Amino acid sequence: MTTARSVGAAGVGGWLAMVLLTVACGSQPTAVPAARASGVTALVGGRVQPSPDAATIADGVVLISQGVITAVGTRAEIAVPPGAIVIDCAGTTVTSGFWNSHVHFTGLAFQQADLAPADGLTEALRAMLTSWGVVHAVDTGSFLDNTLALRRRVESGEIPGPSIRTAGSGFAPVGGSPYYIWPARLPELTNPDTTPAAVNGSLDRGADVLKLFTGSWARRDLIVVMPVDLVRAATDAAHRRGKLVLAHPSNSAGARAAIEGGVDVLVHTFPSELDRRPWDRELPHMMIERKMGLVPTLKLFPSELRKAGLPANVIETVLGIARDQLRAFAEGGGQVLFGTDVGYIADYDPTDEYVYMSQAGLSYAQILASLTTAPATRFGAAGRTGRLAIGFDADVVVLEGDPAGDIRALARVRTTMRAGRVIAGRM
């Protein structure tokens, strides 16, 4: 049972800038003016899920003041201050804001992010991320300067959007720049001696994490694997800077290179064995031993194979392998991070990903953890986000229905809040 607490020093009389306004959860806000952040917002009457492993609170209340959560508990335990903005959340589930740990800001809508109209960028972020509950995004491949410009405009408050961590362009093995980004080419790592300088150059320019293509589709019929000594040189350089290393594996050989090279997170499962050999079932255990994370991106594989015109039985076989890999990893206690490859995938709806993860045997609590506590922990933010708890940032998602009974409800987002500010809302 979650015990209600509140910020006692403030008291009812100490609540600042109370606003006499009631807002229904089903309204269509796009942003709350900054001045309103100093008041009190009360999310009332919903099924509150403070964290994946916490008991739910029926008829719950979450109080928010100045962008921070100040109380969590039942309606009977929490007094809503007079003049608070009251959001009626009856029939909803209220939980922590979501992470998408695999996105790309490479679409036309994000180009020239330093100069593009704010309304257009707001709508692009809403369509791709915030309307689906995403409050934190990990960009695993984009034009670094452009993504940093987008982030600056979001963090300034001009554009309502998620926090953004970016890998910039990432690095490929020699001859391994992905065919599907042509005519753009990725920088290549050529030898262990020069690799640290390349890594440091990317981090010096503002990248938050390092991305390596340890297995890269150089052609439709060729996966180039990065030599382990290059992977190790790159990860050592990034780790010396306190930065995480992410890897795109493509197949078992690419996954093994990442694992043996010290990578922190695989950003895909790896069902694509061109020679039709069985996938390497030792790899999930190796990942778990090394405390690695995995972003499954299950929805990616049907999407890509349908584009290629492959039959349904082939699509189901490949998807089945990816599900098996996720199942083996999760059953062993591996850290799963939710991600969908949106920005590369044009279909932004995450419903299929939730369904596929459930089919792989993950429980509602495990899937919710992949959206909240797991990425907050992996990306160093667990002390301020990922849970609904007093003193944490008011990163909140209001969902229509109960995802514990229907996992698809995780995609039925009514309201998304970042630090107490409504950044997306849907009827």
**In the CATH scheme, what is the homologous superfamily, with its name and number, of domain 12-97+386-425?**
Urease, subunit C, domain 1 (2.30.40.10)
Which overall architecture, per CATH, does domain 98-378 show? Alpha-Beta Barrel (3.20)
Q: How far apart are CA 326 and CA 328, in angstroms?
A: 6
Number of helices and strands (H, E) in the chain?
Answer: 11, 21
Interval 314-321 mean pLDDT = 96
Q: How far apart are CA 188 and CA 408, in angstroms?
A: 40
Interval 29-58 mean pLDDT = 76
Beta carbons of 246 and 209 less than 8 angstroms apart: yes
- What is the tens place of the pLDDT at every residue in 221-236? 999 999 999 999 999 9
Q: Which of 269, 280, 256 is nearest to 322 (CA)?
A: 269
Per-residue pLDDT at 6 exceeds 60: no
- What is the tens place of the pLDDT at every residue in 151-182? 999 999 999 999 999 999 999 999 999 999 99
| Residue 332 confidence (pLDDT) | 98
As a whole-number percent, the residues of the chain with pLDDT over 90 amount to 88
Q: How far apart are CA 368 and CA 16, in angstroms?
A: 33
As a whole-number percent, the residues of the chain with pLDDT over 70 amount to 91
Interval 78-92 mean pLDDT = 95
| Residue 276 confidence (pLDDT) | 84
Which residue ranges does the chain devote to CATH 3.20.20.140?
98-378
What one-character-per-residue DSSP string does 93-156 give? Answer: EEEEPEEEEEE---SGGGTTTTTS-HHHHHHHHHHHTGGGTEEEEEE-SS-HHHHHHHHHHHHT
pLDDT band with cut points at 50, 70 and 90 for residue 15: very low
CB-based burial, 142-176: b 16+ in 10 Å, e otherwise: bbbebbbbbbebbeeeebbbbbbbbbbbbbbbeeb
| Residue 27 confidence (pLDDT) | 35
Q: How far apart are CA 307 and CA 264, in angstroms?
A: 31
Interval 329-333 mean pLDDT = 98
Please classify residue 236 by burial: count the beta carbons closer than 10 Å to its beta carbon, then call 0-12 exposed, 13-18 middle and 19+ buried.
Answer: middle
Residues 6+ apart with CB under 8 A from 317: none
Interval 360-372 mean pLDDT = 98
Q: For residue 171, what are the β-bridge partners?
A: 212
Residues 6+ apart with CB under 8 A from 304: none
Which residue ranges does the chain devote to CATH 2.30.40.10?
12-97+386-425
Q: Which residue has the higher pLDDT, 353 or 25?
A: 353
Q: How far apart are CA 285 and CA 297, in angstroms?
A: 19
Coil, helix or strand for 86? Answer: strand
pLDDT band with cut points at 50, 70 and 90 for residue 39: confident
Other Cβ atoms within 10 Å of 84 Cβ, number: 22
| Residue 426 confidence (pLDDT) | 56
pLDDT band with cut points at 50, 70 and 90 for residue 349: very high
- Mean pLDDT of all residues in the chain? 91
- What is the tens place of the pLDDT at every residue in 103-159? 999 999 999 999 999 999 999 999 999 999 999 999 999 999 999 999 999 999 999
Residues 6+ apart with CB under 8 A from 102: 138, 140, 267, 268, 295, 297, 339, 340, 341, 342
| Residue 275 confidence (pLDDT) | 80
| Residue 274 confidence (pLDDT) | 83
